[in-house]
Amino acid sequence: MRHLWFAFMLLAPLARAEGLPDLGDYAQTVLPPQEERRIGEEIMREIRASGQLVADVEVADYLGALGYRLASNSPDNRQAFTFFVIQDPTINAFALPGGFIGVHTGLIQSARSESELASVVAHEIGHVVQRHLARMVAQQRRDTLPSIAAMAVAILMARANPELAKAGVSAVQAGTVQRQLDYTREHEREADRIGLQILHDSGFDVRAMPAFFETLLKGTRFHEGSAPSFLRTHPLTTERIADVANRVEQLPYRQVPDSLEFHLIRAKLRAMQGAPADAVQFFEEGLRNGTYAMESAQRYGLALALLRSHELERAQHEIDTLRSQLPRHPMVEVLAAQVLSAAGHVREALASYREALALFPKHRGLVHGYAELLLLERQAEEAVRFLREQQLVFPNDGYLYQLQSQAYTQLGKNLLRHQAQGEAYVRAYDLAGAVNQMELALKSGDGDFYQLSIVEARLKELRQLMGDTKKR
């Protein structure tokens, strides 16, 4: 399996396998957790800027729910995690410092069961809780951050333009990979063992891990030549697969059904891929030939593809069929409101959102969709009221602040517009951008004393955070 964290190994000082630090000897060998988190946040800012982060909130929330279910059963319940999805067809997942775990869309679509997907996420959690990344970069913690950020972007570029990626990391001293190979293989074995236990304790089918490792092995071989040698996948070995399979045999058999959300998310990713007409054809052929894992998910994907191709009557027909097959489901409700809106039935769409939010108040797909439609209809006052309520429920959702900034722009309230955009930047790990927005808010000239005081206090806090970051 290829890991983004392989890049950090290249940046770390070379170490002999027999000289590995003990896991308990953190004081001298491991970056402080807050430093790990800072490095991870810097890399996340670069990943966001790359444009490859999947912004769809339903996809993000599905992976987050799966990840937190697994993380709650990890050996370290103090570790914070952030799960995110990268738009990339390769079968891959990776861990970053500070508990950031990324999963490629290709992995989600290639997984034959939810337990297979969970097995890979559990493996990455194993890397995090064993502090593998921290142990590699601890000795260079003051000097490696710019190189790490550049390496993260280079790896994201590798698939599309290997030569550009190679140029992006040419200044990084990679050392001799083979001399570190035993070290990284030991990390893989540790992550396998920890991940397998997490998978079992979280109620998934542990036999999915060796089964999906076989898929990953095939995927590695297929994609191996698409990137420079120092960015290639660590090859999965038959020895590793056999070791996991032997461990699985010691655990009781458990048959675990997939969640409906797993199938809907996979259908959504496929429906959003490529030309709309091709997506429609894919789902139509699946329904016609019976080549699907779940009919309702297949129809959901078809409805979404039909929405993309603006065949709205057919999309509505598929939604009606879905509603006859399934209990009320928030993802179907989001799609239904989107079809109504696209057809110009805005009043009905807003009513549909309100009704669904009463049933599923914490589904962010509904929250975002309703706020977006309010802004589209220039109902800025209602949007502000609604967004303020939602920010109390989802205080770390930067997109809510971005929408709030748009609402204040419509209302001509410049201080509040810049303040909200600043808070959006904070949640995107861009402190410099946030400080700039708060400074613009103070210069806007339209705020009252109370609003100005709040912005001044927040600006002081953000500058202090930036100063603390630079001192580390």
| Alpha-carbon span 264 to 302, nearest angstrom | 11
Sheet of strand 93-96: strand arrangement:
82-86, 100-104, 93-96
Q: State whether residue 8 is helix, strand or coil.
A: helix
Known catalytic membership, residue 192: yes
Separation CA 428–CA 397 (nearest Å)? 9
Q: Which two tokens stand for residue 34?
A: 């807050």
Tokens of 356: 């669904």
Tokens of 249: 């045999």
427 Cβ contact list (under 8 Å, min separation 6): 396, 397, 398, 401
**For the range 68-73, what are the long-range contacts, defined as Cβ-Cβ under 8 Å and sequence gap of 24 or more?**
69/202, 70/118, 70/121, 70/122, 70/125, 70/198, 70/199, 70/202, 71/125, 71/198, 72/202, 73/198, 73/201, 73/202
Report CA 212 to chain centroid distance, whole Å.
20
Cα separation of the two ends of the chain: 32
Among the listed residues 61, 88, 192, 205, the single catalytic one is: 192
Instruction: Report the SS3 class of residue 103.
Output: strand
β pairing state of 82-86 and 93-96 = unpaired
Residue found by looking up tokens 């399996």 in the block? 1
The long-range contacts involving 215-218, CB below 8 angstroms and separated by at least 24 positions, are 215/91, 215/110, 215/111, 215/112, 215/116, 216/1, 216/91, 216/120, 217/241
Q: CA–CA separation, 206 vs 253, rounded Å?
A: 8
What is the distance, to the nearest Å, from the Cα of residue 154 to the centroid of all Cα atoms in its chain? 18
Measured CA to CA, the distance from residue 34 to residue 139 in angstroms comes to: 16
Burial, 21: exposed, middle or buried (Cβ in 10 Å; 0-12, 13-18, 19+)?
Answer: middle
State the catalytic residue, choosing from 35, 61, 88, 124: 124
Residue 310 phi/psi, 5-degree rounding, is 65, 30
The gap from C-alpha 425 to its chain's centroid, in whole angstroms, comes to 17
Q: CA-CA distance, 351 to 336, in Å (whole number)?
A: 11
Name residue, tokens 């896991």.
23
Q: Dihedral sign for Cα 264, 270, 273, 278, please.
A: negative
Which tokens go with 163?
């030569």
Our answer to whether residue 430 is catalytic in this structure is: no
The residues that are catalytic are 124, 192
